[in-house]
Amino acid sequence: MLETPKILAFAGSLRTGSFNKQLIRIAVDAARGAGAEVTLIDLLDFPLPVLNQDDEAAHGLPANARKLKELFKSHHGFMIASPEYNSSIPGVLKNVIDWVSRAEPADEPPLIAYKGKTCALMSASPGALGGLRALVHVRAILGNIGVFVLPGQVCIPTADQLFNSDGSLNDLQKTAAVRALARSLVEVTRKMEPPTVQTGS
């Protein structure tokens, strides 16, 4: 059993004022309070080209793809807050998932950054469904590459009306739900057979 699960947390958005960046910070605080070691990153700091296998064959993984892959490999689980774009997953998030899935070197075990890891999903959206449709697709993608995605998730509708200027939610029930999901991820990750995490190349 893991004493201190290592969790990688991020929002699937690049926008500075993203509701999902605010949401993930609430979850991060709760996961740290539950005893996890949490690394919060901003995908804006890891710009990537769209995955093109011709470019990959010619040049290998971009530097930022390598950095992200090392981060994914060195953690036991993930927390992801995903916006909903046109009823689905944002392109930036799908592109990150795809780059991190690439094997380098060629004889590396497949999906080494994902298999056996855990994940909690959440979303915030101005829409009435709170990003639910995006999470359906994120869940399917991660499940198919070996990640155990917690059955529970949190969707925050009308997000444009719910966040305070300090990034907190003005809805106590929704705040409690986010915190409970984060704590659940920590507990589930503790109890699962820990995947091999790698530090360094």
Give pTM, 2 decimals. Answer: 0.95
- Is 145 inside a domain boundary? yes
HSE (side-chain half, CA atoms, 13 Å) at 30: 21
CA 21 to CA 175: how far, in whole Å? Answer: 14
pLDDT of 185 reads: 98
- Is 197 inside a domain boundary? no
pLDDT of 200 reads: 58
pLDDT of 2 reads: 84
- Is 64 inside a domain boundary? yes
- Is 199 inside a domain boundary? no
Contact 128, 157 (CB under 8 A): yes
**DSSP line for the chain:** --SS-EEEEEES---TT-HHHHHHHHHHHHHHHTT-EEEE--GGGS--PPP-HHHHHHH-S-HHHHHHHHHHHT-SEEEEE---BTTB--HHHHHHHHHHHS-SSTTSPTTTTTTT-EEEEEEE-SSTTTTHHHHHHHHHHHHHTT-EEEEEEEEESSGGGTB-TTS-BS-HHHHHHHHHHHHHHHHHHHHSPPPP-----
Look up tokens 């709760």; give the residue: 30
For 52, the domain range is: 6-191
CATH number, domain with residue 96: 3.40.50.360
pLDDT of 196 reads: 66
Identity at 6, one-letter amino acid code: K
Which neighbouring-strand residues pair with 124? Answer: 156
Domains contained in the chain, number: 1
CA 104 to CA 98: how far, in whole Å? Answer: 13
CA 4 to CA 56: how far, in whole Å? Answer: 36
- Is 1 inside a domain boundary? no
User: Which residues of the chain fall below pLDDT 70?
Assistant: 194-196, 199-201
User: What's phi and psi for 188, nearest 5 deg?
Assistant: -65, -40
- Is 198 inside a domain boundary? no
Please count the other Cβ atoms lying within 10 Å of the Cβ belonging to residue 95: 18
pLDDT of 199 reads: 64
Nearest 5°: CA angle at 152, between 91 and 161?
65
- Is 10 inside a domain boundary? yes
- Is 43 inside a domain boundary? yes
User: What confidence tens digit (pLDDT) does each residue in 71-91 have?
Assistant: 999 999 999 999 999 999 999
pLDDT of 155 reads: 98
CA 158 to CA 141: how far, in whole Å? Answer: 26
